[in-house]
Amino acid sequence: MIKKPTLIALAVCGLFATNAVFAKMTSEEVARLGNDLTPVGAEKAGNADGSIPAWTGGITKAPAGYTPGMHHIDPFADDKVLFTIDKSNVAQYKDHLSPGQVALFEAYPDTFKMNIYTTRRSASNPQFVYDATKKYAPTAELVEGGNGIKNTAIGIPFPIPKDGLEAIWNHLLRYRGLSIERFGGQAAPTASGSYNMVGFDEQLLVKYSDPAVTPAELQESNILFKFKQKVTQPARLAGTALLVHETMDQILTPRQAWTYNTGQRRVRRAPNVAYDAPGTAADSLRTTDDFDMFNGSPNRYTWTLKGKQELYIPYNSYKLHSDKLEYDDILMAGHVNPEHVRYEKHRVWVVEANLKEDTRHIYKKRVFYIDEDSWQVHVTDIYDNRDQMYRVGMAHGLNYYDALTNWSTLDVYHDLNSRRYLAIGLDNQEKMYDFSKSFNDNEFTSNALRREGR
């Protein structure tokens, strides 16, 4: 018999939300990091029935035969499917599925399934991330009602979160390298499965993750990261570009964004690149703040930490990432091809975001399921203003072991109303992520954006 998921009592969560939003970690809590907890705050021990093993350090080096620039070799290629969840047995496993995942079984009973594999706690980060997490855990704090952060750098700011805001900030600030260039495709298959590809070249400069940066320097610059995106295909969109400066205190200085339009050959300020504005070339299948499962200011929602749950989530998605797959192998009507998707049972933090009464967003409620080992949101259930399940997001993550960062190779946003989905990050036939770049601030200006767009 499957046990009910273990969640922290709602009354306790309410106490956290009321009294400890700005409470810093105690010395006793900090001492747990690297002992009974992993260096980023996950439970080291496995679960009671052994289906989740103990964390023993994750992947710390690339497998034999791998060289940077290659698509990542699957270190678990010999693993076999333990069992499959489909329409015939989904009720048996509901305790370890999100309501949104269950809705996908109901929407696509004949095609959607989950192949469950052995749980591999592969998440890891460089030692300097662990050191910074422990160093700044006693001082990290939220400001401006949770819409900014200070006195922290490099690491996970709240490895033992006491409320939902702290948990979502951990997702926002998880380690993804310092200077990264990535190439990928985006597709929005129709209900019949046909699609057109949109190509992107993206560059990211993460000031927060610089091993030499100090909290004071971050606070003075008020910049967490800089992001630049250029559309490379189709021809009618090629050259369209976006630049974002994400700020540390979003009340002091909100996100700054610029766009370049090839038709007008002009760079314009883009204050609407936030919240529920439609995503780039996404057929209105995601919002701006859906990107990376959640990004940007959290100020339109009330955040609640519901506790932990054992959930089947996409994980170690090396098969889906393989350069041996064509996009037609992955994309089909309704959802991506389940034969290429790996699910594992992991402990996740459950964070609920409810829209504040005096604000506006097309999403009334969002529930985020955040992997305890990596702080990556792997599943998100999204409700509309009628309190109906609207969209389901799943991030298919893996450890990019050349950089020791846990990131998604493919983000998929399922729209239950239109019976369509958006797949972002298709990289099977693209150049691989390059974590060895050395970008500088001059490459993330409006002038640089104009040059990129030409």
Q: Which fold has domain 10-453?
A: outer membrane lipoprotein receptor (LolB), chain A (2.50.20)
Pairing of strands 114-116, 179-187: unpaired
Strand 114-116 vs strand 141-143: parallel, antiparallel, or unpaired?
unpaired
User: Which amino acid belongs to residue 10?
Assistant: L
The DSSP output letter for 344 is: E
Q: Contact, 78 vs 435, CB < 8 A?
A: no
Confidence tier at 264 by pLDDT (50, 70, 90): confident
Residue 71: how many other CB atoms lie within 10 Å: 20
Residue that is written with structure tokens 């998707």 in the block: 341
Q: Tell me what the mean pLDDT of segment 199-227 comes to.
A: 98
Structure tokens at 341: 């998707």
Q: What band does 15 get if pLDDT is binned at 50, 70 and 90?
A: very low
Write the DSSP assignment of 58-95 as a string of letters. Answer: ---SPPTT--BTBPPP-TTTT----EEE-TTTGGGGGG
Reply yes or no on whether the pLDDT at 428 is more than 90. Answer: yes
- Whether the per-residue pLDDT at 225 is higher than 50: the answer is yes
Looking at every residue in the chain, the average pLDDT score rounds to 94
- In this predicted model, what pLDDT tens digit does every residue of 301-352 receive, in sequence order? 999 999 999 999 999 999 999 999 999 999 999 999 999 999 999 999 999 9
Residue 12, pLDDT score: 37
Predicted local confidence at residue 1, as pLDDT: 35
Give the pLDDT score at 22: 56
Predicted pLDDT of residue 18: 37
Domain definitions of the chain by residue range: 10-453
In single-letter form, the type of residue at position 443 comes to: E
Q: Whole-prediction pTM value?
A: 0.95
Position 18: which residue type? T
* Residue 156 in this model has a pLDDT that exceeds 70: yes
Strands 389-400 and 405-415: antiparallel
What own/partner pairs with CB < 8 Å and gap ≥ 24 does 30-38 have?
Answer: 30/134, 30/137, 30/138, 32/160, 33/130, 33/133, 33/134, 33/137, 33/159, 34/130, 34/134, 37/159, 37/160, 38/373
Residue 453's pLDDT is 66
CA pair distance 341, 395, nearest whole angstrom: 11
> Distance between alpha carbon 341 and the CA centroid of its chain, in Å?
17
Cβ contacts of 405 within 8 Å, gap of 6 or more? 125, 175, 176, 177, 399, 435
Tokens standing for residue 176: 């993804």
Tell me the chain's radius of gyration from C-alpha atoms: 21
Q: Where are the beta strands (DSSP E) in 125-222?
A: 141-143, 148-150, 179-187, 197-206
* Token couple for 428: 């099977």
Q: Is the pLDDT of residue 8 over 70?
A: no
pLDDT digits (tens, 9 = 90+) for 44-85: 999 999 999 999 999 999 999 999 999 999 999 999 999 999
Q: What pLDDT score does 454 carry?
A: 65
